[in-house]
Amino acid sequence: MFHDYAKVLIFALAGAGLVFLGMALGGLLRPKRDRDAAGLEPYECGEEPIGSAWFRFDIRYYTVALVYIVFAVEIAFLFPWARVLKTAFADPSIGGVAFLEGVIFIAVLALGLAYVWKKGDLDWVKGLSKNRLDNSLDITEAGEERE
């Protein structure tokens, strides 16, 4: 019995060893960066950065992206479901169950969409409180920080 666990332990140790080996080789072989001012810029594409790189992104961007992923997955599940449903109605007991499962699936996703919509997370332009607005405007039009 312990022989089976030994195989799992050896496999886990080999996997961890490969991870550390890859990190060590990467540290040895990659070129060293100079820690001067130009090397510490947020990105090095030839353009001068405007403002700080440490600002908060709005969470609504991620919410809309997740809603898109949910509905893309829904479409990926509904195409084969519709194909099978077409042939499943030849047997009424299977066709009814398949139809009910699809309706429940769509209803759960519709409830999630209604919840996100009601919260207002799908609105791109949302009112900001004066305190949040002042904190987000920490750079001038010329790109210099305020004092």
pLDDT at 140: 45
Residues 33 and 25: beta-carbon distance below 8 Å: no
Report residue 71's pLDDT band, with 50, 70 and 90 as the boundaries: confident
Tokens describing residue 92: 């009424």
User: Can you tell me the distance from the alpha carbon of 45 to that of 114, in angstroms, rounded to the nearest whole number?
Assistant: 42
77-128 per-position pLDDT tens digit: 888 888 888 777 777 777 778 888 888 988 988 898 888 888 877 776 655 5
Q: Which residue has the higher pLDDT, 2 or 45?
A: 2
- The token pair at 51 is 């403002």
Distance CA 96, CA 83 (A): 14
Q: What pLDDT, in 10s, does the model give residues 28-64?
A: 998 876 677 666 666 656 667 677 767 777 777 787 7
- Confirm if 70 and 112 have CB atoms less than 8 A apart: yes
d(CA 147, CA 140) in angstroms, rounded, equals 10
109: its two tokens: 């996703």
In the chain, what are the domain boundaries? 59-136
pLDDT above 80: residue 23:
yes
Q: Which residue has the higher pLDDT, 87 or 21?
A: 21
Which pTM does this prediction carry? 0.44
Token pair listed for 21: 């080996």
- The pLDDT assigned to 53 comes to 66
Among 13-22, 45-54, 67-76, 137-146, the least confident range: 137-146
Does residue 75 have a pLDDT over 70? yes
